[in-house]
A and B are shown apart, each in its own frame.
Chain A
Amino acid sequence: MAKKIPEIPAASLADIAFMLLIFFLVTTTMDVDSGLERRLPPMPPEDQEEDDTPPIKERNVFVVLVNAKNQLLVEGEITDIDELRDKAKEFMANPYNDEDLPEKKIETVDFFGQVEITKGVISLRNDVGTQYGTYIAVQNELVGAINELREELAKQKFGKPYEKLDSDQQGAIKDIYPSRISEAEPKKVGGN
């Protein structure tokens, strides 16, 4: 008595699935977003009139200026961007305790004990007319310089690349080579 229900045809299932597939192919992107990660300094409180921090000695500052024509002036010398990384590394490491390169202070860091830590600060100032691409290239070289120093120290001390260390070890290395890149308020000079 009960009629047998005919089987639902599944031939169009493939078409439906294809339609969905094509929809997802069109509306989604596959690219993994990556970029240079930076932290901005917090806005100074408005009631702050004179900052009473002691002035930083000139030997402790690594001045990088970029003008509207995308030229670099590093520590008073016109520099090519390819040389920037080595100069920044030499500045931050100061391997021979050079008089002109930054001072160091002795501090105790986990795993390392008493170590000399540089007081150097990298100061980056760009013009309003500087191209963003150049700015990123400069930032990249500076971040790269610090990353390379950290990498070298990690290899030398722990025998492993920096990324493979646990967070305490990474923290210790970060204490020794801090990422101190400060960006000055831009000045409008020269041209558009």
Chain B
Amino acid sequence: MSKFRKNDTKELPPISTASLPDIVFMLLFFFMVSTTMREVTMKVQVTVPSATELSKLEKKSLVSYIYVGTPFKQYQNVFGSEPRIQLNDQFAKVSDIPDYITAEREARDEAEVPFMITSLKVDEYTKMGIVTDIKQELRKAAALHINYSSRKKAER
């Protein structure tokens, strides 16, 4: 009887927090593995259209991105409110695309170059004129494998 009633008078011991770092580290590693670094600061507003026949971009390291959309408010007095192209962290012209593709290719291993994909992240309300120009430049640069980035749409 007395064996179990020994500490009756003492107050409750504090909960040990020694395992808290372990738990947090576990969370940390989970997020490190399952997420990817945000590569660029977005300067244009992009809402990609939705589609059903999607394929996933398998190897993130082989993907180069082209963003097209209207510039955010703080850039509009300089760059206007018409849709613009963004490559890496800056606004670009259509004629900059071949240079961008070349730079992207040089950054990769030579064996990987044929598997490179260009992902077009284009706002749904953009006119096709600018997209067609981009496609023509990509054809000239022989970057033929492209991916129109889109969201998953619920099946009808």
Contacts and interface: CB of A to CB of B under 8 A. Distances in A.
Interface in A29-50: 29-30, 32-43
Nearest to A29: B38
B31 A34 contact: no
A136 B53 contact: no
B144 A42 contact: yes
A37 B60 CA distance: 15
Contacts of B27: 21
Contacts, number: 150
Interface residues of B, number: 52
A126 B123 CA distance: 17
Contact of B127 (A11, A36, A128, A143): A128
B140 A27 contact: no
A28 B126 contact: no
A36 B57 CA distance: 10
B10 to A, nearest CB: 23
B54 A36 contact: yes
B139 A28 contact: no
Contact of B54 (A30, A35, A130): A35
A37 B149 CA distance: 8
A37 B127 contact: no
Contacts of B148: 35-36, 38, 136, 139
A178 to B, nearest CB: 16
Interface string B41-78: 00000001101111111001001000000000000000
15 contacts: A16-B21, A17-B25, A28-B38, A34-B55, A34-B56, A34-B57, A36-B51, A38-B147, A39-B145, A41-B139, A43-B139, A130-B128, A137-B51, A143-B53, A186-B132
